[in-house]
Structure 1
Amino acid sequence: MKSLIVSLFVLLCVVPHVFADAPEGFSAAKAVAKRHIFFDEFALEQGDLYCGCRWDWVGRSGGRIDADSCGYETRAQQVRAERIEWEHIVPAWVFGHQRQCWQSGGRRNCTAQDPVFRAMEADLFNLYPAVGEVNGDRSNYQYAMVRGVSPQYGACPSKIDFKGRAAEPRDEVKGLVARVHFYMYDRYGLSMSRQQQQLLMAWDRQHPVSEWEREWSDRTARVMGHENPFVTGAAVWTRGHRPSRSGLVSAAPETGQPASIRSGVIIGNRNSRVYHLPDGCPSYDRVAERNQVHFESEEQAQRAGFSKAGNCR
């Protein structure tokens, strides 16, 4: 009996994240991530997402950057350069714009009204500590290969193309970033451009899962209650990947409506005024991101003055 009590005490002290519950909001997610995922030396020695900087935890979910550990130099925002912030690897602006709630009132409305958005915003697989200044500079830019940009943050290798609205993370996390994108787009039925798919598939091949990424993913899975299949190898992203949409928690659809249309995002082209369904429309993933308008049903698209694309089956 005594040995059993000792064993339970050791388990509770050494592996606290085993007993955690998935967070229900972004604020809770940050605190849970600090307490159950990025809680030990193994995590801290990996450094933050963009620069590999160590940090010291301060407060409920924040931290203070050790700039000397990574050779970081402030570009412009000293206060944010000194602190850890929580980066959505797939930005809230990106996944929010694929929800109707955003069109009706932005992020605040989505947080208040849309359970799918709240799940995405609090998904721990998509959250990682980052130097606040780089997090702010990255904004909602898509990831890309950035050319012709001189070092902006001292020895920090990540680069931001402000004019081109693009960000390139350091090589050590490019594979991780790719597999987080695959997870988020698959689980929540998001639409990814062909160009972005090609880049992330290349990063996935070039930068295999590391020991830390596997451990980070395992810790996160124990909290969230499910894994990232693109880290474990249970799933592989290929061009034209059809999302599982296993994370959607919308209300039950009307009887008789095709499942692919019920759960998928319908993409309209603001120039041609036609819309494309996730199944049966060959041009679904060919609409330039700047021209995309998203709808949750054909009826909604038609009310907005859009017609179904003529090449849809």
Structure 2
Amino acid sequence: MSKHVIWILIIAFLTLTGYTDFAFGNEIKRQFFHPSSLISFENSKTELKEIYLKGNHRETLHCGCTFDELLQVSSNICAHSPQSFATQPASKEFVEWVHAMPLQEIGEKLKCRTEKSCSTATAPQNSDRPCCNQVSPKFKIIQADMHNIFPSIRSSLAPTHSNPSFGGMEEYKLCATSDTTLPLPHIRGDLARAYFYTSIQYRIPISAELENNLRTWHYQDPPDAWEEKRNTLIETVQGNRNPFIDHPELAERVTDF
């Protein structure tokens, strides 16, 4: 068999096995992606607070609830009229910083939650955040990446959600209308682009069903002025941008996240 035929067979095999998708992802990463300089989630939270305050966008992601310099949220001052809050007396809740692609999902994909060394760590085995922080330097970098972090309500009024697909979904339950399982339409693109960024930047695969939904959201909810401004403000701190905000068409070049 000639070398020419052998190379044809090799290329065909790589194509069928999805290697070309991986290669396209790598090519996009080389051209458009740069590493984050942050490695501390605590520092990221401090920086994000300043970004949202100085950027004059003091709103939580899902319900659009206004927060102040102390990260206090007035439960009756929200853009999307939380239903559960409507029946509650006015109270002060606090913002917490949540990950669009949840840390639980990231820990499972990195397999750091099931490392044997976790059982000897101070945190119990399969505990995502404390354990992965101890055994996975990559997890710590992902955890600190501000492109995947958004403000949400840390509220005792928020119903629990056993396995949220997106960070802050507990807050969304407060302002849901008819559909209580999906984020509001005006932030779906934001979440999709955070997922795409995290997937390419850190090689975290996305399930086919979720990827299809995220692609739809990405096209239906393009980047708005705040998302673009936030991208620039984050760059000034951690030194990189989310290319899917600057170049939405990049999503078409990745056939499998």
Provide the residue aligned with 1:32 in structure 2: 47
Change in Cα spacing, 1:41 to 1:193, as seen in structure 2 (3 Å) is closer
The amino acid across from 1:84 in the alignment is V
Q: In 1, distance between residues paired with 2:88 and 2:37?
A: 33
Q: How many residues are treated as equivalent by the alignment?
A: 202
- 1:57–1:64 CA contact under 8 A, matched in 2: yes
199-208 vs 66-75, which moves further: 66-75
**Which is helix-richer, 1 or 2?**
2
Task: Tell me by how many angstroms 1:238 deviates.
Answer: 3.9
> Is structure 2 residue 239 aligned with structure 1 residue 231?
no
The answer to whether residue 108 in structure 2 is matched with residue 85 in structure 1 is: no
Counterpart residue number, 1:273: none
Residue pair 2:158, 2:173 contacting (<8 A) in 1 also: no
SS at match of 1:42: coil
Match of 2:234 among 220, 240, 245: 220
Q: 1:155-234 to 2 correspondence within 5 Å?
A: 156-157=175-176, 167-233=181-247
CA distance in 2, matches of 1:31, 1:172: 26
- How far did 1:223 drift? 1.3
Look up the match of 1:48. 60
Equivalent pair of 1:230/1:237 in contact (CA under 8 Å): yes
Alpha-carbon RMSD = 3.1
Deviates more, 1:221-230 or 1:105-114: 105-114
Residue matched to 1:115:
137
- Listed as ranges, the matches of 1:94-113 within 5 Å are 94-104=105-115, 105=118, 106=126, 107=128, 108-113=130-135
Match of 1:141 in 2: 164
Other structure's SS at 2:250 match:
coil
The TM-score, its normalising length taken from structure 1, stands at 0.57
**Secondary structure of the residue that 2:251 maps to in structure 1?**
coil
* Aligned residues of 2:96 and 2:153 also touching (Cα < 8 A): yes
Change (3 A) 1:136 1:94: farther
Q: Show the counterpart of 2:5.
A: none
CA contact (8 A) 1:81 1:132 kept: no
CA shift, 1:49, in A, is 0.7
Task: Tell me by how many angstroms 1:74 deviates.
Answer: 3.8
TM-score, reference length from structure 2: 0.69
Change (3 A) 1:75 1:198: farther
Residue matched to 1:282: none
SS of aligned partner of 2:69: strand
Distance (Å, rounded) in 1 between the aligned partners of 2:158 and 2:108: 19
Which protein, 1 or 2, shows the higher relative CO under an 8 Å CA cutoff with sep ≥ 6? Answer: 2
Corresponding residue SS for 1:205: helix
Residue in structure 2 matching 1:64, options 72, 95, 99: 72
- Pairing 1:233-252 to 2, within 5 Å after superposition: 233=247, 236-238=250-252, 241=255
Deviation string 1:58-105 (CA, Å, 9 cap, x unpaired) is 2xxxx1112222133349999x97111111110000011011321123
**Structure 1 counterpart of 2:149:** 127
Task: Provide Cα deviations, 1:221-278, integer angstroms capped at 9, x if missing partner.
Answer: 22121110100007622496366xxxxxxxxxxxxxxxxxxxxxxxxxxxxxxxxxxx
Structure 1 runs (4+) greater than 3 angstroms displaced: 71-78, 133-140, 157-161, 238-243
Give the counterpart letter for 1:195 in structure 2: E
Q: Equivalents in 2 of 1:75, 1:94: separation in Å? A: 32
CA gap 1:152/1:175 in 2 versus in 1, 3 angstroms: closer
- State the alpha-carbon separation in 2 of the partners of residues 209 and 169 from structure 1: 16
- CA–CA distance in structure 1, aligned partners of residues 159 and 144 of structure 2: 19
